[in-house]
Amino acid sequence: VQLEQDLFHAIERGEMKVHFQAQISLDEGRLIGFEALLRWQHQELGNISPAEFIPMAEYTGNIRAIGVWVLEESLRHIGDWRSRYSTNLFVAVNVSPQQMETNNFAEQVRDALSRAGLPSSALHLEVTESMLMQSSAEVQLDAIQALGVRIAIDDFGTGYSSLSYLPRLAVSTVKLDRTFLEDVGTDERKTQLFGAIVRMAHTLNLVVVAEGIEDACQLECIRSYRCDAAQGYLLSRPIPAETVEQLLETEW
């Protein structure tokens, strides 16, 4: 309960930080954008995992305020990098169920983009499969798509299967959960399953992002199966904004 209280004050105390994990296009091997991942450095307890505090923020309702802040911070940084390094990088921001259930969520997103002076292509939103099952989701997704903001299904393939929903939902991207990537390139059956999912997604005109790429063998394999983009420790860990700048100045 003390921790819940602390969570309410974490932003004003400057304990929250957004980290960024690179996404690479597989055809050109180019940096195309980042996933924004929230980090909480508690002043006494140190680093607290999002796996612990995000669920806490969700049941206390605090996730709405946190979500607004993450969106603003993410857009502020990506806007800065786009203008200073003349790139078209995007930032992909995770969205919680309560945010999707907020009636004016699409307007919040539109306003945040306009305050940041950014085109809608600078932002992607990541939602989970179970969020797509909600009856309110379809209207919300349509409103977000109408803004021109891409929606990605996060952890694809692990939640309730949304295969029957896929053709009609306003979704542009599937992010294959890293459990699908384990042993891809070495285990024959896992590799075949991966290839089949990529072909299925492409048939529906969906972009496929592979998560959890940790070694070169996986990377080679997913490239040969025409997966579109990749994210994972092999390419980059989630890193603070200052480190992203060093990366943009040197490697890319």
Residue 233 interacts with ligand G (CB under 6 A)?
A: yes
CA–CA distance, 44 with 149 (Å, rounded to integer): 38
Question: Which are the contacts of 14, defined by CB distance < 8 A and separation ≥ 6?
Answer: none
Q: Is residue 168 within 8 Å of 132, Cβ to Cβ?
A: no
The DSSP string of 93-144 is EE--HHHHTSTTHHHHHHHHHHHHT--GGGEEEEEEHHHHTSTTHHHHHHHH
Tokens of 103: 């009636």
Residue 73 interacts with Na ion (CB under 5 A)?
A: no
Buried b (16+ CB within 10 A) or exposed e, 143-158: bbbeeebbbbbbbbbe
Contact mark string toward ligand G, 204..223, x via CB under 6 A: -------xxxx---------
Residue 155 interacts with Na ion (CB under 5 A)?
A: yes
By C-beta, is 52 or 111 nearer to ligand G? Answer: 52
Residue 177 interacts with Mn ion (CB under 5 A)?
A: no
Q: Which of 16, 57, 73, 126 binds Mn ion (CB under 5 A)?
A: 126
Q: How far is the CB of 54 from ligand G (least distance, A)?
A: 5
Q: Is residue 56 within 8 Å of 68, Cβ to Cβ?
A: no
Q: Which residues 205-234 are close enough to bind Mn ion by CB under 5 A?
A: none
By C-beta, is 185 or 232 nearer to Na ion? Answer: 232
By C-beta, is 220 or 249 nearer to ligand G? Answer: 220
* Region binding ligand G by CB under 6 A among candidate stretches 81-89, 192-200, 232-240, 241-249: 232-240
The residues that touch Mn ion, with contacts defined as CB under 5 A, are 94, 126, 154
The residues that touch Na ion, with contacts defined as CB under 5 A, are 154-155, 211
